[in-house]
Chain A
Amino acid sequence: DIQMTQSPSSLSASVGDRVTITCRASQTISRHLNWLQQKPGKAPNLLIYATSSLQSGVPSRFSGSGSETDFNFTISGLQPDDFATYYCQQSYKTPRTFGQGTRVEIK
């Protein structure tokens, strides 16, 4: 199985900050990497697919980059609505696997 290692596990930031989360795959996944946002009591929501493509309706302050095994997710200008948990997920092969999650909290 492909292991996805996400860091940090949590972070505190202020509104307006730039936030970056990293995700490393245990083997190459090309660019088959999704980023999901989950708010308490809600289902996850796809923000970015194929490493850097913004899902329809997602604000442009969210972005992704990377390839093969190393990936980054950035929020440029954190907004109050962005405080949530973020997961990376590989869609290269089954079993689909997820990172452990990064909880973004208000400083």
Chain B
Amino acid sequence: QVQLVQSGTEVKKPGASVKVSCKTSGYTFSRYGISWVRQAPGHGLEWMGWISPYNGNRDYAQRFQGRVTMTTDTSTNTAYMEVKSLTFDDTAIYYCVRDALGGTVTFDFWGQGTLVSVSS
């Protein structure tokens, strides 16, 4: 069965960086993209960007350009997202989700979420 398993809770200070992992299984990793979505406490869902494990193509939301880096490791079927220069406003749950850009079914499988807490 398809699974996306994310790394654990992170507590960071303002100005630091965080790297979240998303290990996939149960499907051919290279055939589907991965989107990253975050949710601040008590708020809705915000798309951060997308990456293709097939060719490394990326598409970042404009507000995260220059501060977010998405990568994949096809040898371990794992996607990563690094966020730099953290501020208190980056406190949120971060989700990876399978996203077949251009496909009919998108956002069909989600990771369990990773809480990133930015605190001084």
The residues of A with any CB-CB pair to B shorter than 8 Å are 34, 36, 43-46, 49-50, 53, 55, 87, 89, 91, 94-101
Contact = CB atoms under 8 A, between A and B. Distances in A.
Nearest to A97: B47
B44 A98 contact: yes
Interface in B70-120: 95, 99, 101, 104-108, 110-113
27 contacts: A36-B45, A43-B95, A43-B111, A43-B113, A44-B45, A46-B107, A46-B108, A49-B104, A49-B106, A49-B107, A50-B104, A50-B105, A53-B104, A55-B105, A55-B108, A87-B45, A89-B45, A89-B107, A91-B107, A95-B62, A96-B37, A96-B47, A97-B47, A98-B47, A99-B44, A100-B44, A101-B44
A87 B108 contact: no
A8 B44 CA distance: 14
B79 to A, nearest CB: 15
B35 interface: yes
Given A43-B110, A49-B108, A94 B44 contact: no
B61 interface: yes
Contacts of A34: 106-107
A98 B45 contact: yes
5 A-B pairs closest in CB distance: A96-B47, A43-B110, A91-B106, A98-B45, A95-B61
